[in-house]
Every structure is written in structure tokens, then in C-alpha cells.
Structure 1
Amino acid sequence: MKPSIDNYKDLITEVKNQQNKDGVRNYFPWFKLSQTLISKIDQLSENLVDSATYLSFKEYLQLFTNVVSKFEETYEWSYTKKLIPIQMPFNECQSDYIINADGYKAYKLFFFTAFFLPLDYEELNKSKNFLNLKKVKYETLSSVYDKLQYVVEDVKEASEKMRKQERRSIEILAIFSAVALFSVV
């Protein structure tokens, strides 16, 4: 089952509630959600001529804009706090392998990289910039299609006026032809 816009909205509400509850503004759910929305919006953008698809595109774009905004906000929070998102308990960072040395107690190997993984904020900043570029691209695409819809409606109105004008011209021409035909007779 593919998630609907309501599923995404529910997920966003759930993430907001959890972050408000524990006070940790983790950027990661917003980052992953924005990546998921990119694939959905790219899929929708292939057929914007269809009005139902276009309306769906606009809804997803609004959702994407909100998610990117939350990602930027939580990224800044994480960056200023120098948040370390992964800190497993000490015993989970030890290997199952036990080292027995004569005369000493048994030791387990400790994997320090499992205990502490710093974030690469430069890479995250590149991702943030990429998401902003995508947002601008989608907003531009939406703006172009909005303007295009007005142009199409104007063309339809002009076409309808021309049809009515042509019909009047033909009716007037028919009346003059009838008058000319009866005056000759």
C-alpha cells in the first residue's frame, strides 16, 4: 500500500508530538521524510496536465515545504547543540568475543566507534541545500503551471468568442444572401 497524503500528515504530527514530548529536535525523521516526498512529487510532476494530479502535486508540495522547513530548523538545533544522535549503552558497544589472559580477568573488546558517531555537518548542509533547490524547482514548476492554466482559460474564452462571432457573421451573411435572392426574384 502506498502512503497517502493523510498518512504523511499523520506521520508528521506523530514526529512533532514525539519531539515536543522529549525535547530533542532530531533532524533525521525530517530528512528521510523529505527524501520520500521528493520521489512522490517527482512522480506526480510527470503528469501535471491532469488537473487532479496537479492538485495532488500542490498538496504534496505544501507538505514538502513544511517538512524542509522543519528539517532546517532541527538541523540548526542539532548543529548548535552539537548533538550526537547515536549513543548506545556501553555494554552494547562490546564484542561477544572474550579475551582471557592468564592471571587477568576476562575482557571484551570495546568498539569505540559504535559508542560515538559524530555527524558530518558539511554533508548535511549539502543535503539541506539540495532540498532547498528541489523546493525552489517545485515551486517554480507550480508557478508555471498556475500561469499556464490562466493562459489556457484565456485561449478557451477567446476561442468561444470567435465561434460566437463567426456564427453571427454567418447568420448575417445568410440574411443578406436571402435579401439579395428575394430582391432579384
Structure 2
Amino acid sequence: MAKLLDPKREYFIGRVISRDDRTQKEQKDLDVILGQESAVVILDDTENVWMKYKDNLIPMESYDFFALHQFHKSLSRLKSDETELDGTLACVLEALKRIHHMFFDETDGNLDFASRDIRQVMETVRKEVLKGCKIVFEYDYLLNMAEELGATCSMETDPSVTHVASIDDEDETEMSSWAVKEHKLL
């Protein structure tokens, strides 16, 4: 898999672990790698198998280039793929480059990499995703995630709100009506 994803050995240097490498049936673990948990970044489209390592995880959309079954609409069947600048893999690559840069290049003169923790870098990067956004929620089930991604969250509307998270149903809610009227992202 590593040869397919990184033929020039530029990013992974052969260090890709797949579902076939796991030692437990329903969970994935870092017991199959040599290295410290504080230096591991995990990319996976199945978040719940990494319960012990959520801070190391970058959840991502499933990238389905090849068809899994006859009726599966894969990118190869659609005769398309992501562009170099757009799509799931491009987005994840940018995040990885940013994390790598912050971990290795922003050293402040401290070259002791053993004392660094990639999870702290990842937390910083996560908090930048929705930085500057104030989101008002009709329901609070996404509120914690939005806060982890750097948003300021509220359950009430006011002029400082930039986004509204509302239920997508046939009936227009008071909050979604307010968002449309005030030209807020919905």
C-alpha cells in the first residue's frame, strides 16, 4: 500500500499500516509499530476503531478509487479522480504537511524531538479549522466537535454569529429563517 500511495518514498518511507496489520479484531492499536505514541499520526476513515488513540487520529472520508462490489460507484467506475489540489487526499496531505512543518521545523532551537508530542501539534491544527467562526446550533450534538475545531459556539442567535447549524428538513425553523434573513451561512 505504501508503494502505491507514495512511490517516491517522499512522505511515508514505507511506514503505512493497513487493516491487515492489526492484532485485535474490532480495534486497531499502535502495538504493531516501533515508535512512540507521541510521534504517530493516524489517518483512517473508521474513527471508532482507534478509541485509545483519538488524539493521534485524523478522521477522513473513505477514498474509494476501486469498486468494492458490482454496484459500488467508485472513482474508477466514474472514470474520475481527485485533482492534485482538490479532494479528500489533497486536503489530508495539506494537513499532514502543516503538522510535519510544525513538529519538525518550528523548533525554537529545541532539537530534542523525543520531548515533543505530535498530539499537541495536531490539537493546534484542529483548533485552526473553524477559528473565527461563531456557530449557533439548533441542536447541540455537533457543538463539542465544533469547539474542538476552534469555533465559538452558542445556542442563541446574535449579530456576531457567522454560521447556523440547523436541521435539514421540510419545515423551515426559526433559526434557519433567521440565518437566511441575516445572510449567515447555513
TM-score bracket for this pair, using the shorter chain length: under 0.3
TM (norm. structure 1) is 0.23
| Greater RCO structure (CA 8 Å; 6+ sep) | 1
In the superposition, the TM-score normalised over structure 2's length comes to 0.23
